Amino acid sequence: MDDTFDTCAIINELLLQKKDIDARNQLIRLLDKLKRENKPYNELVNHFIRELGLYPYLDYETAAWQDKIVYNSFQVDLGNETPTTLHREQSLVLKHLLNGDNLAISAPTSFGKSLIIDAYIAIKRPTNVLIIVPTIALTDEVRRRLTKKFSKEYKIITTTEVELGQKNILIFPQERAIFYYQKIEKIDLLVIDEFYKASEKYDKERSPALLKAMLKLGEKASQKYYLAPNINTIEDNFFTKNMVILPLNFNTVFLEKHNLYKDEKIKNNPDKKNDCLLKILKNQEKKTLIYAGTYTEVHKVAEILKKNISIRENKLLSDFSDWLKTNYTNDMDLSALVRHGIGIHTGNLHRCLSQIQINLFEHDENGLQTIISTSSIIEGVNTSAENVIIWKSKNGINNLNNFTYCNIIGRGGRMFKHFIGKIYILDQVPQTQEMSLELNFSDKLLADLDTQKYYHELKDEQLLKISKYKEKMSEILGREFFNQILNEGKLISSDIELLTKIVNKLSENEKFISNLSKINEFQPSTWYHALKDVLSIIQIPKIITSNKVKTGSLYYFIINFLQILNKNWDYSIQDLLNELKKFEIDIDTFFDLERKLSYTLPALLNDINVIQQKLCYPEWQIDLTPFIAKLSKAFLPSCVLELEEYGLPRMLSKQIHKCGIINFEDENLDLHTALQQFITFKSDIYAEFTNSSSFNRYILDYFYEGLGNK
């Protein structure tokens, strides 16, 4: 106990010097030591926990009565079996929200920003809450969390075709949120998670869509709550105007960094670096995230571990491996890796595969111990681990920036699980620096902006660009029709250059229209010319990451892929890959193309369709909507693709369809009706899988748990 007293003396001295962060780090390290030694907290330790605002960590049994009063005072009922105690800064944020303030906060990953949303809903019981998240994977994670707490009172909505209920929690990525603009009249609370992605500096590709969602849906919101990690300052801007800005440097775990890359042996010798990686991983009982940075490095690390980490004699992992071979392909890297207790997390994988792996990593002691990832691990899920390894200081083709680096290492440690997150750095990382956020009106946002409303926010050249664009579009389409499509929000893109290209292509090329008419025939052999014309409007190299295809043959490559993908429901993935083999499309490229083309092309075709219906030949009555709907679902029927977002692979949906329990080929079947049928026919569905792989039943358990119906 002497060591404890000595550490408390140090903490006290730091508090007297008003060095709260240093004091809190000392305290967290002490709590970790006491946990490892299985020792209770004495009154002095509890006192410092209270002094530093870490109220959830208080040991109620050994705390003084004054500390117990504080612990109870900061409790909120979130619909769990027992109330949840907030730490000091969480309570501060919640107080601002309950007072009706618009709030933009920046806080570390371990802060617990999402818990405040749950507390707000539990206390205020608002009618409509809209939560915008950066990825579909995070949509499902948030849905699962909120379903457990609020599904009896609220309709939880994650897809745009679903109608509002009496009380609603809507969870969308930014692109889907924009689609829902016309359906919702009033939002009580608009939440933007990871709102730093509205800056082109941090997400050039998707920032225009998030800015558009913030503008359009912000107009309907009574209150706003924007969340981000690791931002020191927010520059004056329209998007956070009149908001309370709270940069909160309040950590609940301690990050213990090991700068191993500074060792010259590791720095200059790849074999030594490999040995160092394996040495860190030798204790397989510790959950570890390995950030590899690029797809190439993910595969490189996977090969190192596969050769040097023993296979885990584990039925669950063995069943998962066999399931992958049966349902995907025999030579899939992941099927071999999981036997070693290792998973892979990249943005290309089928969403259900990423979710299943995270569940095996987070919740199963016999599950995955290690996950190798790209930046998808910080964009797609809120997982964390005791160990985080930085293998390569890259983010795709770019060097890792300080902001992303801080996000990655923020995955180390977790409240009540790992007081200390151990960060092992095997490649030189950017120097720590102050991070400022700038939010500006992007040129790709200009097409449907009201220049009168935003006159003072736009640059002169932007105002001129908008004026010329609207003048030209009104001249070609007619002012009335052009104003109509703007007011109704029918166009997905707000990029003036892209929309101008579409108008020019349609007005100057009658053959383009003739080719488009053949798309709805659903005879893939007739698609080539129309899809080539469509693809010529955008920059194709940005769509695919495969390095096997020369730019000149990209059209041929993509269109042939789509023609074969048209068989997505009737064929197994192995059968599709057999047909795609002649185009050198492996499983990774298949994942990449299916994901990107089922989003990028439907969005483009939608805008072409809206414009051509007025501009071209109305008597032809061309409507691309049926083709757009099928392509956006990757040619899978009904809500099969949406169910993958809920953690149910298409193979299981197909089996359920074949045995006649749920008819997925019913065009009127929407997601919420399907989910209700899953609950109604639960016993029949489990009976159907009685004699199949036990991993199918593991997946069903995971899926039903997400419905609040395990």
**pLDDT of 553 higher than 50:** yes
Instruction: Please give the Cα distance from 574 to 572 (Å, whole number).
Output: 5
Tell me what pLDDT residue 543 has.
Answer: 57
Q: What is the dihedral of CA 78, 81, 87, 93, to 10 degrees?
A: 0
Q: What is the mean pLDDT of residues 204-225?
A: 92
Confidence of residue 542 (pLDDT cuts 50, 70, 90): low
Amino acid (one-letter) located at 246: L
Task: Give CATH superfamily name and number for 84-247.
Answer: P-loop containing nucleotide triphosphate hydrolases (3.40.50.300)
Would you list the domain boundaries of the chain?
Answer: 2-70, 84-247, 257-435, 503-632, 640-706
Comparing CA positions, the residue from 428, 354, 451, 442 lying closest to residue 649 is 354
Write the CB contacts of 171 (distance below 8 Å, at least 6 apart in sequence): 131, 133, 139, 142, 143, 146, 156, 157, 158
- For all residues of the chain together, what is the average pLDDT? 89
- How do residues 691-702 score in pLDDT, each as one tens digit? 888 999 999 999
Tell me what pLDDT residue 710 has.
Answer: 61
Q: Which of 35-49, 310-324, 365-379 has the lowest mean pLDDT?
A: 365-379
Percent residues over pLDDT 70 in the chain:
96
**pLDDT of 612 higher than 50:** yes
* DSSP-derived secondary structure for 627-670: HHHHHHTTT--TTHHHHHHTT--HHHHHHHHHTTSS-TT-TT--
Q: First and final CA of the chain: distance in angstroms?
A: 45
Comparing CA positions, the residue from 24, 41, 432, 86 lying closest to residue 254 is 24
Domains 84-247 and 257-435 share a fold: yes
**pLDDT of 316 higher than 80:** yes
Confidence of residue 551 (pLDDT cuts 50, 70, 90): very low
Instruction: Please give the Cα distance from 119 to 79 (Å, whole number).
Output: 9
Q: Which of 106-110, 116-120, 512-516, 599-603 has the lowest mean pLDDT?
A: 512-516
Tell me what pLDDT residue 546 has.
Answer: 54
Q: Say which residue, 157 or 313, is predicted with more confidence.
A: 157
Instruction: Please give the Cα distance from 130 to 167 (Å, whole number).
Output: 11
Q: Which of 158-172, 442-456, 567-581, 608-622 has the lowest mean pLDDT?
A: 608-622
Confidence of residue 223 (pLDDT cuts 50, 70, 90): very high
Q: Are 350 and 379 in contact (CB under 8 A)?
A: no
- How do residues 38-94 score in pLDDT, each as one tens digit? 999 999 999 999 999 999 999 999 999 999 999 999 999 887 778 899 999 999 999
Tell me what pLDDT residue 224 has.
Answer: 97
Tell me what pLDDT residue 86 has.
Answer: 94
Q: Exposed, middle or buried, 457 (CB in 10 Å: 0-12/13-18/19+)?
A: middle
| CATH hierarchy code of domain 257-435 | 3.40.50.300
Q: What is the mean pLDDT of residues 272-294?
A: 89
**pLDDT of 506 higher than 90:** no
Q: Are 224 and 188 in contact (CB under 8 A)?
A: no
Q: Say which residue, 664 or 404, is predicted with more confidence.
A: 664
